[in-house]
């Protein structure tokens, strides 16, 4: 019996999430025993015209990229958005805070008007095509990706967290970053990272995007308790939260 075909594609990104896949080592070899990689620019030159699963990293910042993405979607049974750039637009959406013409001049200078360099406002993958599953984070947790892929191969629905990072912090008995006078996005950011940043002495940067239904009242209470405001919270959201659906 033929193994399911997987293609891995990248758009505007640093490709760090793909490196997480490469770094899986033995777990990657185990996964490869279950699937047949048929396209992956970082690892092979083969191509295919059909994919059981297409894994897509990066945001869409050009019209030709949107067209290519649509062709991938038409050729794939399932599409998985990989990493913050693909799931929420990532840091690329910072450009959406400015006029795109000004962004192009800043990046390309005198070459800004060349047709092949024309940019569009950054979009997450699901803003262009239908996405079946999302693996959040910057970078991703490779184990979360393998969980999704294995569930799909087994015909099961992957269960992804929809509660805030604060829950994971409490489970790990971390000290709250607000106790250090910091503004942490844990109250509104989707968990699933095992509270990696707060567990290592940093506030949550919000790279996994907002939970679907953030508890705004609880967030406001936290801000008030520590002498912060909702505006303080929003200011930290700019890095990964630019042009996301506003829920605060």
Question: Same structural domain for residues 145 and 199?
Answer: no
Q: Looking at the 3D structure of the chain, how many domains does it have?
A: 2
Question: Same structural domain for residues 220 and 117?
Answer: no
Band (45; pLDDT cuts 50, 70, 90): low
Question: Same structural domain for residues 122 and 186?
Answer: no
Report the C-alpha gap between 235 and 107 in whole angstroms. 24
Q: Give the CATH number of the domain where residue 56 resides.
A: 3.40.50.700
Burial 113-135 (b: 16+ CB within 10 A, else e): eeeeeebebbbbbbebbebbbbb
Report which of residues 11 and 114 the model is more confident about. Answer: 11
Band (82; pLDDT cuts 50, 70, 90): very high
Residue 134: what are its φ and ψ, rounded to 5°? -125, 135
Is the confidence at residue 44, as pLDDT, over 70? no
Q: Does a structural domain hold residue 160? A: no
Question: Same structural domain for residues 182 and 108?
Answer: no
Is the confidence at residue 162, as pLDDT, over 60? yes
Q: Does a structural domain hold residue 178? A: yes
Is the confidence at residue 230, as pLDDT, over 90? no
Question: Same structural domain for residues 140 and 172?
Answer: no
Q: Does a structural domain hold residue 129? A: yes
Q: Does a structural domain hold residue 39? A: yes
What pTM was computed for the model?
Answer: 0.91
Of the listed ranges 14-23, 44-53, 138-147, 184-193, the one predicted with least confidence: 44-53
Question: Same structural domain for residues 108 and 180?
Answer: no
Tokens read off for 209:
């995007």
Is the confidence at residue 183, as pLDDT, over 70? yes
Report the C-alpha gap between 175 and 163 in whole angstroms. 19
pLDDT given for residue 43 in this prediction: 67
Mean pLDDT, the chain, rounded, equals 90
Question: Same structural domain for residues 42 and 139?
Answer: yes
Looking at 127, 153, 179, which one is the last position of a domain?
A: 153
Looking at 153, 180, 203, which one is the last position of a domain?
A: 153
Band (245; pLDDT cuts 50, 70, 90): low
pLDDT given for residue 112 in this prediction: 79
Q: What average pLDDT does the segment 130-147 reach?
A: 94
Q: What average pLDDT does the segment 79-88 reach?
A: 97
Question: Same structural domain for residues 20 and 140?
Answer: yes
pLDDT given for residue 117 in this prediction: 75
Question: Same structural domain for residues 234 and 180?
Answer: yes
Q: Does a structural domain hold residue 220? A: yes
Report the C-alpha gap between 41 and 29 in whole angstroms. 18
Burial class (CB in 10 A: 0-12, 13-18, 19+), 8: buried
Question: Same structural domain for residues 133 and 207?
Answer: no
Which structural domain, as residue segments, surrounds residue 96? 5-153
Is the confidence at residue 158, as pLDDT, over 60? yes
Is the confidence at residue 248, as pLDDT, over 60? no
Looking at 153, 181, 210, which one is the last position of a domain?
A: 153
Q: Does a structural domain hold residue 248? A: no
Question: Same structural domain for residues 118 and 37?
Answer: yes
How many residues does the structure list for the chain?
Answer: 248
Question: Same structural domain for residues 177 and 141?
Answer: no
Q: What average pLDDT does the segment 216-238 reach?
A: 87
Q: Does a structural domain hold residue 34? A: yes
Report which of residues 103 and 208 the model is more confident about. Answer: 208
Is the confidence at residue 247, as pLDDT, over 60? no
Q: Does a structural domain hold residue 247? A: no
């Amino acid at each position: 019996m033929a193994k399911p075909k997987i293609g891995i594609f990248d758009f505007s990104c640093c490709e760090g999430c793909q490196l997480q896949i490469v770094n899986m080592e033995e777990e990657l070899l185990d996964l490869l025993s279950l699937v047949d990689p048929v396209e992956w620019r970082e690892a092979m030159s083969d191509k295919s015209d059909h994919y059981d699963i297409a894994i897509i990293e990066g945001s869409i910042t050009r019209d030709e990229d949107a067209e290519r993405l649509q062709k991938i979607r038409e050729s794939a049974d399932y599409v998985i958005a990989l990493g913050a750039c693909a799931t929420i637009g990532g840091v690329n959406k910072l450009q959406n805070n400015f006029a795109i013409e000004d962004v192009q001049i800043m990046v390309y200078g005198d070459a800004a008007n060349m047709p092949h360099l024309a940019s569009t406002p950054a979009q997450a993958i699901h803003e262009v095509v239908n996405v079946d599953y999302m693996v959040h984070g910057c970078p991703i947790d490779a184990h979360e990706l393998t969980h999704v892929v294995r569930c799909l191969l087994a015909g099961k629905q992957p269960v992804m967290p929809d509660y805030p990072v604060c829950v994971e912090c409490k489970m790990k008995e971390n000290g709250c970053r607000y106790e250090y006078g910091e503004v942490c996005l844990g109250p509104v950011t989707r968990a699933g990272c095992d509270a990696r940043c707060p567990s290592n002495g940093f506030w949550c940067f919000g790279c996994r995007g907002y939970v679907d239904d953030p508890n705004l009242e609880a967030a406001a209470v936290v801000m008030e308790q520590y002498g912060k405001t909702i505006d303080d919270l929003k200011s930290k959201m700019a890095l990964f939260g630019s042009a996301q659906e506003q829920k605060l």
